[in-house]
Amino acid sequence: MDKDLLLIENLRGYYKGIFGVVRAVDGVSLRVREGEKVGVAGESGCGKSSFAQLITGTTMPLLHYEGGAVRVNGYDIWKISPEVLRKEVKCKLISYVPQAMLNSLNPVKKIKEFIADMLRERTGCRYSVKNARKVAAQHFERLGLDANVLDLYPHELSGGMVQRSIIAISTIASPQLLIMDEPTSALDVSSQKKVIKMMIDIQRKGVIKSLVCIAHDLSALNQLCDRIVIMYAGKFVESGEGDDVTGNPLHPYTKALMGSLLPLEKETKYKSLSSIPGVVPDLRYPSLGCRFYDRCGRRMKICKVEDPPEIIKGKRIVKCWIYKKGGL
Amino acid sequence: MSGRVELLLKNKKLQVYLGIAIIIIMLGLVGPFFTRDPSKILVGGIYESPSSEFLLGTDMAGRDIFAQLCNAIRDSLMVGIIAGFSAVGIAIIIGGVLAYKGGIIDEGANVITNVFLTLPQLVILMVVASLLGKRSLIIVAILIGLFSWPWMARSIRSQLLSLKERKFVDLCRISGKSDFVIVVKEILPNMLAYIFLLLIIGISSAVIVESGISVLGLGPTEGFTLGKMLNLVIRHEAVQQGIWWYFIPPGLVLVVFTGSLLMITAVIDDVLNPKTREI
Amino acid sequence: MGQKFSRKSREKTEERRENGIKNILASNKGSLFTKKPFTRFITKKVFFLLLALFFSLTLVFIIPYLTPLNPLDIIMSRLAARPGMTTTQIETIYERYNVLFGLDKPLVVQYYLFWKRVLTLDFGVSIALYPNKVMSLVLYAVPWTLSLIIPVWVLSFILGNYLGSRAAFSKNKIVHTFYTISVCLNASPYYWFGLILVYLFAVNLRWFPSSGAYDPFLKVSLNPKFLLSVAYHYVLPFFSLLITSIGNWCTGMRAMTIYEKQSDYVFYSRQLGFTENRLRSYAQRNALLPQITGLPIILSSLIGQTLIVEYVFGWPGLGTLSYHAIAAIDYPMIQALFLITVGLVLIGNLSVDIIYGFIDPRIRTGYIGG
């Protein structure tokens, strides 16, 4: 139960192109234990999706791995050969669920044909479409999806169904760790509910062991995950138990995030929303100090010049100078 | 806008291709003034091979081939340019203005474009050219332009439709200007680079088409183009007689010219359109 | 307030859509494609074909009347120039043509007669190659042209797209050299490239004949000796068309493949652990689909080039026939040739549209969005 499933140490990944070098993920560390559900939250552009790609070992063309370790079950993702990564790690140990763009599935293949391809590729055996459909139907129904979806083409499905099918496809081989990138952002509320329910189900039913969910909706993450990590400008700024972080945010950014969320309680009906002034820093030229400096309401002189340390108290970690002197 | 032009001109590849194209154009523009009269027969021997006196030798009637080439380039270019501009002009009206008006006018224009698009251009040109008695260079050029506009119109239309959705067009509509004025003054400047590309492709393809019909003897009845040179080549079986200095240059000029124009469009597209760049 | 509304209506449409999908699943189990969108698609294409045919034929009909020349006078003067024609012969032919073309009747009636000719495929007797019937001459020439154009059309598509997608995936210098050469050759006049081939292989190396379709001393039949001679003569014109047409497809396919390589489904499939080979085939397959829509346009341009190449090589297809017809201003022949040529192209286009409808599942299921 306390065994570490995923261990990330000082992971760095930069975008390199003619625009320069963008330090999208600049030294993050994370520990995910078996049976844990971790949520990673932050604004758009803070590096969450890049982080997800770096964990899986497959990045979009411009994103480059720069350093750090990502360890799963004895494998260091970035040190093993691509073939070992493909055969042993992907789908079996770590699986990835992208945001439900309608183009995430091959538009000219029926879902069952795609799954048949996938099984053939992974196992090296000849899988007929019929057999693949049997296997997939079993798995789909276990997760509460209509198996007849398998006979359709991706463009015949609605966004919510595509997302749920993708979750099902990614978990066919019962991976130990599932990484989800903004699973509900592109969906309407009722589909979101179904997806969240499915995410709870797959862990409860033992299809996966641990979950890392990346989103910007803190309240949804809180419902789903045990632990929440807040990410800003390529670094983790706070982490802790879900209710703890959302109920008692410590880092100024987290506080500002909570303040800008749409509250659903009746009493707060007339409270105005606050937004965080300023914009996300240009990560081509990150400052040496705290990256939240320009937008922080509680900044100090030292925040500008030195990167804040991580202060640990029990299960909470905060990366902020405020808590250095007196402790939490 | 001028920044982009600067960026283009600095590109090494573009400089090379542009240089090649300009050399050929110069041959056509300036050449005829410095060479002998191409129609004068027996200035040299018959089928003399290239020498320092006759850069490309002589043909079956003793005429200077290099002089012929320069004049042919000039006439071919003229046809190409007129045809290219007419095609683009028609395409702007049908694919631009009419498409902008929307509704049934756009639908009708679209249907016409699609019908014209599927018709074989060369075949129709051949038939029409054969039915006309005398064909001047300009008439041939306009004819070619008349049958080259469909694919341009289609491209312009799709570009226009995506531009039309943008906000600044709504402002123009409120201003009360006529549709034609809006298209020409507001929307076209945004598509200028694209239209320029279409023009280059139009000119290069028009030159090739003209050479095609001229080879069959259906080209201009006056003037002398590269296609007409090749027509003479075939009629007098110069290939079988191995007179390489006669049949290689006109075709080679065509290939190099259109090739360099096409490469120019490829480079422009690459530089101005970052999405197609290979990462 | 507005937010609340749109959220609710979005929910509702989502629910309706899911229910609708459940209904489709329940009712349409096992059908290959829902028939309605597909037949609608085909009907639309056939309608366009007929419209294009109608329009182009009207064009061919009208143009002679726009010129100051009277077609029949020219025909008659040509016929009169033939040795051995008596005045009575000329007069009877004149009468016959008058009846056939109805040149003494008003324009509308002539138009009607024109269509009668088109639909019965009877264009009378050729002037250039008197006394052969126009249609028999044309129909004899058709297989010769088809034998050139259809293999070139199909093969250049396959080879050109293959080269384009290889160029998108590999950095191999050889591949890129082939790619650049193909694109450059494509810019050349196809017939000129044919001349070069003739010069190299027929005149210098003497490997192949320089013109004609078969040994002139052999009779046209299906015996092996004749077919072999045809094959021997076929090589140069075929390759001069094929090599230059490959470039039509290269740039488009390369761009499309690069585009597909960066698509979401390739990224997701890679995450799922697909091999690079399979990913390549996914990208290629999806990049190929839009390329198919280019086939009709290429056919239109190819037919023009083929006609000229035929003339250059003396290949007895529609091209050489057109040349003779045009040189002699043989109106009936020109009209018939035009009808057949345009008809062939339009039928080719329609076949491509039908095939595309079968291949792209989005058309089959009526997906109209883009």
Q: Say what the pLDDT of residue B73 is.
A: 92
Give CA angle at A209 (A205, A215), nearest 5°.
100
Q: Say what the pLDDT of residue C6 is.
A: 55
Mean residue pLDDT across chain B: 82
> Does the distance separating the beta carbons of A106 and C282 come in below 8 Å?
yes
Quick check: A74 contacting B, CB < 8 Å?
no
C183 φ/ψ sector (left φ>0, alpha ψ -120 to 50, else beta): alpha
Distances (CA, A) of A168 to C20, C50, C352: 22, 49, 37
Average pLDDT estimate for C349-365: 79
- Residues in chain A within 8 Å Cβ distance of C4: none
- Residues in chain C within 8 Å Cβ distance of A149: 25
Distance from CA of A111 to the nearest CA of B (A): 30
| Closest chain C CA to residue A101 | C264
CATH at residue A43: 3.40.50.300
Distance from CA of B279 to the nearest CA of A (A): 7
Reported as a pLDDT band with limits 50, 70 and 90, residue B1 is low
Distance from CA of C262 to the nearest CA of A (A): 8
> Does the distance separating the beta carbons of B230 and C195 come in below 8 Å?
yes
Give how far the C-alpha of residue B39 lies from the chain's centroid of Cα atoms, to the nearest Å: 26
Decide if pLDDT at C1 tops 60. Answer: no
| Tokens encoding C15 | 């629910």
- Residues in chain A within 8 Å Cβ distance of B279: 17, 61-62
Closest CA to C301 of C183, C160, C152: C152
Q: Who wins on pLDDT, C344 or B97?
A: C344
The domain total for chain A is: 1
Closest CA to C299 of C342, C334, C337: C342
E strand or H helix that includes residue A37: strand A37-41
Q: Which of C71-85, C150-164, C189-203 has the highest mean pLDDT?
A: C150-164
User: Which residue range(s) make up the domain with A307?
Assistant: 4-87+207-323
* Window from A256-270, B15-29, B214-228 with minimum mean pLDDT: A256-270
Average pLDDT estimate for C37-55: 79
- Residues in chain C within 8 Å Cβ distance of B132: 67
| Closest chain B CA to residue A18 | B279
List of long-range contacts for C281-289, beta carbons under 8 Å, 24+ apart: C282/A106, C283/C165, C283/C257, C284/C165, C284/C257, C284/C260, C285/A108, C286/A106, C286/A107, C286/A108, C286/C260, C287/C165, C287/C253, C287/C256, C287/C257, C287/C259, C287/C260, C288/C161, C288/C253, C288/C256, C289/A108, C289/C356, C289/C359, C289/C360
SS (H, E, C) C226-289: HHHHHHHHHHHHHHHHHHHHCHHHHHHHHHHHHHHHCCHHHHHHHHCCCCHHHHHHHHHHHHHH
Quick check: C199 contacting B, CB < 8 Å?
yes
Axis-axis angle for helices C247-261, C295-313 (nearest 10): 160
Distance from CA of C307 to the nearest CA of A (A): 38
- The burial of A167, by beta-carbon neighbours within 10 Å (0-12 exposed, 13-18 middle, 19 or more buried), is given as buried
> Does the distance separating the beta carbons of C258 and B276 come in below 8 Å?
yes
* Per-window interface: B 14-33 vs C, CB < 8 A: none
Q: Who wins on pLDDT, C205 or C66?
A: C205
CA distance B2 to A325: 56
Distance from CA of C107 to the nearest CA of B (A): 18
* Window from A255-264, B50-59, B113-122, C233-242 with minimum mean pLDDT: A255-264
- Residues in chain C within 8 Å Cβ distance of B21: none
Quick check: C275 contacting A, CB < 8 Å?
yes
Q: Which of C195, C203, C245, C293 to mutate to test the interface with B (most CBs of B within 10 A)?
A: C195
C-beta separation of A4 from A32 below 8 A? yes
Q: What count of CB pairs under 8 Å joins A to B?
A: 3
- Residues in chain C within 8 Å Cβ distance of B233: 195
Distances (CA, A) of C68 to C63, C65, C73, C74, C160: 10, 7, 11, 12, 46
Whether the CA torsion A184, A186, A190, A195 is positive or negative: it is negative
Average pLDDT estimate for C181-207: 85
Average pLDDT estimate for B25-42: 82
Residue A181 has φ and ψ, to the nearest 5°, of -105, 105
Quick check: C17 contacting A, CB < 8 Å?
yes
Q: What count of CB pairs under 8 Å joins B to C?
A: 157
Average pLDDT estimate for C166-178: 86
Axis-axis angle for helices B244-272, C190-197 (nearest 10): 130
**Bridge partners, residue A179, by sequence:** A96, A212
Residue A68 has φ and ψ, to the nearest 5°, of 100, 170
**Which amino acid belongs to residue A3?**
K
Distance from CA of C43 to the nearest CA of B (A): 15
| Closest chain B CA to residue A15 | B279
Q: Say what the pLDDT of residue B200 is.
A: 92
Going by the DSSP 8-state scheme, the letter that residue C223 receives in this structure is: S
CA distance B75 to A267: 84
Place of tokens 């991580």: A310
- The burial of C199, by beta-carbon neighbours within 10 Å (0-12 exposed, 13-18 middle, 19 or more buried), is given as buried
User: Which positions ≥6 away from C89 have C-beta within 8 Å?
Assistant: none
Decide if pLDDT at B181 tops 90. Answer: no
* Window from A97-101, A270-274, B235-239 with minimum mean pLDDT: A270-274
Q: Who wins on pLDDT, B225 or B169?
A: B225
Q: Which of C58, C175, C248, C300 to mutate to test the interface with B (most CBs of B within 10 A)?
A: C300
Q: Are strands A177-181 and A94-97 parallel, antiparallel or unpaired?
A: parallel
* Per-window interface: B 190-219 vs C, CB < 8 A: 204, 208-209, 211-212, 215-218
Reported as a pLDDT band with limits 50, 70 and 90, residue A256 is confident
| Closest chain A CA to residue C25 | A148
Summarised one tens digit per residue, pLDDT across range A5-41 is: 888 888 888 888 777 788 888 888 888 888 889 999 8
- Residues in chain B within 8 Å Cβ distance of A62: 279
Place of tokens 């987290």: A254
Whether the CA torsion A90, A95, A101, A106 is positive or negative: it is positive
- The burial of C359, by beta-carbon neighbours within 10 Å (0-12 exposed, 13-18 middle, 19 or more buried), is given as middle
Quick check: C19 contacting B, CB < 8 Å?
no
* Per-window interface: C 260-279 vs B, CB < 8 A: 262
Of A146, A160, A170, the CB nearest to C272: A170
Q: What strands lie across the sheet with A20-33, from one edge to the other? A: A20-33, A4-17, A63-72, A75-76
CA distance B210 to B122: 9
Chains that touch B (3 or more CB pairs under 8 A): A, C
Q: Of how many residues is chain B composed?
A: 279
> Does the distance separating the beta carbons of B131 and C67 come in below 8 Å?
yes
For residue A281, tell me if it sits in a domain: yes
Residue C219 has φ and ψ, to the nearest 5°, of -85, 150
Distances (CA, A) of B69 to B18, B50, B65: 20, 13, 6
Q: Say what the pLDDT of residue A328 is.
A: 46
CA atoms within 13 A on the CB side of B221: 9
User: Which positions ≥6 away from A198 have C-beta within 8 Å?
Assistant: A143, A144, A164, A167
Give CA angle at C287 (C285, C289), nearest 5°.
75
| Tokens encoding C162 | 């293959």
For residue A312, tell me if it sits in a domain: yes
| Tokens encoding C223 | 């015996």
Summarised one tens digit per residue, pLDDT across range B55-107 is: 788 888 888 888 889 999 999 999 999 999 999 999 888 887 777 777 788 88
A100 φ/ψ sector (left φ>0, alpha ψ -120 to 50, else beta): beta
> Does the distance separating the beta carbons of A191 and C289 come in below 8 Å?
no
Closest CA to B126 of C315, C307, C309: C307
Q: Say what the pLDDT of residue C368 is.
A: 41
Reported as a pLDDT band with limits 50, 70 and 90, residue C26 is very low
CA distance B222 to C86: 37
CA distance A273 to B24: 68
| Closest chain A CA to residue C285 | A108
Summarised one tens digit per residue, pLDDT across range A230-245 is: 888 888 888 888 888 8
| Closest chain A CA to residue C270 | A58
CA distance A208 to A202: 6
Query: Model ipTM?
Result: 0.87
* Per-window interface: B 245-274 vs C, CB < 8 A: 247-248, 250-251, 254-255, 258-259, 261-262, 266
Summarised one tens digit per residue, pLDDT across range B122-161 is: 888 888 887 776 788 888 899 899 888 888 888 888 877 7
For residue A183, tell me if it sits in a domain: no
- The radius of gyration of chain C from alpha carbons, rounded to an integer in Å, stands at 27
Distances (CA, A) of A84 to A72, A76, B254: 13, 11, 54
| Closest chain B CA to residue A16 | B279
C-beta separation of C26 from C352 below 8 A? no
Quick check: A297 contacting B, CB < 8 Å?
no
Q: Does residue C28 sit in helix, strand or coil?
A: coil
CA atoms within 13 A on the CB side of A167: 32
Quick check: C210 contacting B, CB < 8 Å?
yes
Chains that touch A (3 or more CB pairs under 8 A): B, C
- Residues in chain A within 8 Å Cβ distance of C362: 107, 153, 155
For residue A24, tell me if it sits in a domain: yes
Average pLDDT estimate for C197-203: 85
Give CA angle at C281 (C279, C285), nearest 5°.
120
| Closest chain B CA to residue C256 | B276
Q: Say what the pLDDT of residue B276 is.
A: 44
E strand or H helix that includes residue A82: helix A82-84
C-beta separation of A59 from A70 below 8 A? no
C-beta separation of C362 from A153 below 8 A? yes
Quick check: A275 contacting C, CB < 8 Å?
no
Chains that touch C (3 or more CB pairs under 8 A): A, B
For residue A289, tell me if it sits in a domain: yes
Place of tokens 């226009």: B160
CA distance A304 to A286: 11
Place of tokens 């007098």: B236
Distances (CA, A) of A185 to A167, A303, C5, C234, C283: 14, 33, 19, 62, 27
- Residues in chain C within 8 Å Cβ distance of B274: none
Reported as a pLDDT band with limits 50, 70 and 90, residue B113 is confident
**Bridge partners, residue A37, by sequence:** A211
Q: Say what the pLDDT of residue B206 is.
A: 92
E strand or H helix that includes residue A31: strand A20-33
Peptide bond into C189 cis (omega under 30): no
Summarised one tens digit per residue, pLDDT across range A134-186 is: 989 999 998 888 888 899 888 888 888 888 999 999 998 888 899 998 887 77
| Tokens encoding C263 | 């698509």
Q: Say what the pLDDT of residue C32 is.
A: 41
Q: Say what the pLDDT of residue C157 is.
A: 94
Q: Virtual CA dihedral for A11, A15, A20, A26, nearest 10 degrees?
A: -20
CA distance A76 to B81: 63
* Per-window interface: C 57-86 vs B, CB < 8 A: 59-60, 63-64, 67-69
Q: Say what the pLDDT of residue B277 is.
A: 47
Decide if pLDDT at C159 tops 90. Answer: yes
* Window from A74-88, A189-203, B127-141, B202-216 with minimum mean pLDDT: B127-141
Quick check: C292 contacting A, CB < 8 Å?
no
Decide if pLDDT at C29 tops 60. Answer: no
| Tokens encoding A265 | 């309680």
> Does the distance separating the beta carbons of A91 and C273 come in below 8 Å?
yes
Q: Say what the pLDDT of residue A2 is.
A: 64
Pick the CATH number of B2-272 from 1.10.3720.10, 1.10.287.130, 3.30.70.100, 2.60.120.10: 1.10.3720.10
CA distance C129 to C241: 28
Q: Who wins on pLDDT, C59 or C166?
A: C166
